[in-house]
Chains A and B, each alone.
Chain A
Amino acid sequence: DAKTTQPNSMESNEEEPVHLPCNHSTISGTDYIHWYRQLPSQGPEYVIHGLTSNVNNRMASLAIAEDRKSSTLILHRATLRDAAVYYCILRDLITQGGSEKLVFGKGTKLTVNP
């Protein structure tokens, strides 16, 4: 599985935008970029995913670089409930051996200040 690199931690103030970066320089043409987040004492939850074009949903936006070697998760207005560990994960469109597993790194711990 291709690897991703994220900062260990980031801080933001409430109601301000947050840009969480992810580098994935060895991404292949069939890798989707997924983001999950894990709130304290909870299991991870899906946030967003994309392949080449920028994506928006009710939770966040995903901006993907033209060369696809990096991406940024954007929270438009951070709230205290957004404090979590955010994971950037590459997932091959073509599963090998039938396994669709997600490979997590250490993620970015986001702290939101009131």
Chain B
Amino acid sequence: GAGVSQSPRYKVAKRGQDVALRCDPISGHVSLFWYQQALGQGPEFLTYFQNEAQLDKSGLPSDRFFAERPEGSVSTLKIQRTQQEDSAVYLCASSLWGQTEAFFGQGTRLTVV
């Protein structure tokens, strides 16, 4: 399909393990966002890219979280030394630059045990 694709859908990590979550945005979308959603809460902003430039990373909770989008399309969210509090659904969204509608993927559910 032509939607935002995230992989894996589910990830179980042992505490202390590093994980990498992938997002394939809609082709041609300049803007890309990562959000974290804890159970029963609304999504919380993590970081924003415009093409390959990371313009806002104010929502990243610690220096264990790192995101990249080297060629301005696919993005990876990396979490180092995972902790139990990192357990959440990680959502990726993309939109055309200057457009208002954001398209979200189905998310990656991360469980840290």
Contacts and interface: CB of A to CB of B under 8 A. Distances in A.
B42 A107 contact: yes
Interface in B19-35: 31, 33, 35
Contact of B95 (A85, A100, A105): A100
Interface string A35-56: 0100001111110010000000
Interface string B69-113: 000000000000000000000010101000011111111000000
A103 B45 contact: yes
A97 interface: yes
B107 to A, nearest CB: 5
Contacts of A42: 104, 106
Given A43-B105, A44-B91, A102 B55 contact: no
A97 B104 contact: no
Given A43-B93, A91-B100, A98-B50, A104 B33 contact: no
A102 B58 CA distance: 13
A87 B93 CA distance: 16
Given A87-B42, A106-B41, A98 B101 contact: no
Contacts of A97: 55-56
Contact of B44 (A45, A49, A100, A104): A104
A101 interface: yes
Nearest to A91: B100
A42 B74 CA distance: 20
Nearest to B93: A43
A43 B106 CA distance: 5
Interface string A94-114: 000111111111110000000
27 contacts: A34-B100, A36-B102, A42-B104, A42-B106, A43-B4, A43-B91, A43-B104, A43-B105, A43-B106, A44-B43, A44-B91, A44-B93, A45-B104, A46-B101, A46-B102, A49-B100, A85-B42, A91-B100, A97-B55, A97-B56, A98-B56, A99-B58, A100-B95, A103-B45, A106-B41, A106-B42, A107-B42
Interface of A: 32, 34, 36, 41-46, 49, 85, 87, 91, 97-107
